[in-house]
Amino acid sequence: MTMTIQKPYSFIQNVHMMAETALDLMNLPDGMREQILSCNALVQLQFPVRLSDGRIHVFKGWRATHSDHRLPVKGGIRYAPHVNQEEVEALATLMTYKCAIVNVPYGGSKGGLRIDPRQYNETDLELITRRFTRELYKVNFIDPAKNVPAPDMGTGEREMAWIVDEYRRLAQRDIDYFGAVTGKPPTNGGIQGRVEATGRGVQYAIREFFRHPDDKKIAGMEGDLAGKRVVVQGLGNVGYHAAKFLSEEDGAKIIGIIEWDGAIVSQDGLNVEHVKSHIRENGGVKGFPDGTYYEKGLSVLELDCDILIPAALEGQITATNAPNISTKLLVEAANGPVTFAADKILREKSVLLIPDAYANAGGVTVSYFEWIKNLAHIRFGRMTRRLDELRWNSVVEALETMTDSPIPTHLRDKILQDDREINLVRSGLDDTMRIAYQEISEMYHSREDVKDFRTASFIVAIKKIATTYMEMGI
C-alpha cells in the first residue's frame, strides 16, 4: 500500500481556507463568495537596470490588487529574494480584510520585488527602486487616488522617499504626489509614529484584550500585562517595537527572543534594547551575554509563556510544532505565521489567537493618517494647537483658583498634553485598535457557531466588504 503524503498548503491557500471558514457561516448572494476570494488584478514586471559598476541585472516584481471595493487600494512593497506571485496575492488578500477590520477605507494591494537588498549598495538600490516605480507607473499601479504602496519587509523610509520623488517627476501635474506612497520620512511628507506603528498596534491590541474579562477567562489569564511572560519571534521593526513597548510601558517580561541564528532565553527578562544593540553589532543573537542561547531557535516557540508573538515570517507555526505550543495567548504580529492546520490544533488546545488581519493593522492605520495629511496639505493641529493650549491652560488656572491649591504635576501634564502629531497619531491608532477588537470580540461572543477570533474577524471584514459591493449595485 502506497502512502500519500499531504503537501503543505501554500500561503494563499491558507489565507483562502481561513476566509472560507467564515464564508461558510455567512449567507451571501450568489457570486459574492467568488468575488470576495478573487484577486481583481495582478501585474508582473520584468525590467533591466544598469548598475553602478556597469553590469546589467534583470529584476522581476509583482503588484497585486485583491479588491478595489474601496479606492485607493493599499499595501506595502517587499524586497526579498524568495518573493513570488502567490505570496504577493496572499498578502494583498490579507490587506483587504485588514483594512475592513480596522475601518480604514482602502482596498487591499501588495507588491514584491525579487531581490536581496543586502547584496546591493545604496546607489544601486536607488537605481532599482526608481526603475521599479517607473514600471509601476506605466501600468497605472501607483497613484494617490488608485494604488498607494508603503514599506514592507526589506524596504523602509529611504525606499519610500525614492519612490515618491520618482512619482513626482513622472506625474508633474499631480499636486497630491506626496500621497502616492506612505511610510515616507517625516521630513519628506511622512508622519511621526509610522515606523513604530505596526509594533505599537500590536501593543494596543494586547492592551485591549486585557480590558475584556470574558476573553481573559477564555485564555486562562488574570490581572493586567505587568509581569506577563512574553516570547517574541523576530526582532525586526515590528517585533522590536512590540517587545520594547510591552516591556518598558506595560511591565511585561520578555523571556525569549527568536532570531534567524537561534534564540536567547532568560526567565528574569531580557532587555530589548540591549538585545537589539547586540544584533546590530554581531548580526544575530548568538553570544548575547545575559541569556541562554538556543541554536535551534524555532524550538523556543514552544517555551512555556503567557503571550507568544510571532513577528517574523509566514508559516512558522505548523501542524508539526503546534501540538507543543505552550502559550495562553498567541498574537500574530507577522502575516500568516500560523498555518490553517496549526490554527485548528491551537483552537483544540484552547490557545486564544489574535489574528494577523487585526493584530498587525497598525501600519496601514497610520499610513491612512499619513495619506490624509498629504491630501489635506496641512499638518495635523496646525490651526488648533495654540487655541487648545490656551483653553486648557485656562481650565487649569480656573481649577487652581477655585480650589486654592495647585494641581499635582502629573495631572497638570496630562491636562496640558498638547496635540503634537505623535500624540494625535497614537491617540488615533489606539482608538482604531480598540474599536476593531470590540467588534471582533462581540462577533465571537454573539454567535455559538463562531469558534475563534480569527473566524470572527473574517466575518466582520467580509460583511463590510460585501455590503460595500452590494450598495455599489454589484
Question: What SS3 class is residue 113?
Answer: strand
Catalytic choice (110, 184, 244, 253): 110
Q: What is the bridge-based pairing of β-strands 292-294 and 262-265?
A: antiparallel
Q: Where are the alpha helices (DSSP H) in 321-381?
A: 340-348, 356-359, 362-376
Which single residue is written with the C-alpha cell 520578555?
254
Q: What is the bridge-based pairing of β-strands 329-331 and 352-354?
A: parallel
**Measured torsion, CA atoms of residues 405, 406, 411, 415, in degrees rounded to the nearest 10:** 100
CA distance 150 to 158: 11
360 alpha-carbon distance from chain centroid: 3
Locate 224 and state its grid cell. 493586567
Name the CA radius of gyration of the chain, rounded: 23
Locate 155 and state its grid cell. 524596504
Q: CA distances (Å), 201 to each of 7, 155, 212, 283, 301, in order?
A: 34, 19, 17, 27, 22
Residue 28 identity:
L
Question: What SS3 class is residue 77?
Answer: strand
Residue 264, C-beta contacts closer than 8 angstroms, at least 6 positions apart: 256, 257, 270, 275, 285, 288, 291, 292, 293, 294
Q: What is the bridge-based pairing of β-strands 329-331 and 262-265?
A: unpaired
CA distance 136 to 149: 10
CA distance 324 to 307: 15
CA distance 92 to 99: 11
Residue 379, C-beta contacts closer than 8 angstroms, at least 6 positions apart: 373, 421
Residue 136, C-beta contacts closer than 8 angstroms, at least 6 positions apart: 43, 45, 63, 111, 142, 147, 149
Cβ atoms within 10 Å, residue 474? 12
Q: Where are the alpha helices (DSSP H) in 139-233?
A: 157-170, 197-209, 213-219
Whether 110 is catalytic is: yes
**For residues 250 and 242, is the Cβ–Cβ distance under 8 A?**
no
Cis peptide before 72 (omega within 30 of 0): yes
CA distance 40 to 147: 13
By annotation, the residues acting in catalysis are 110
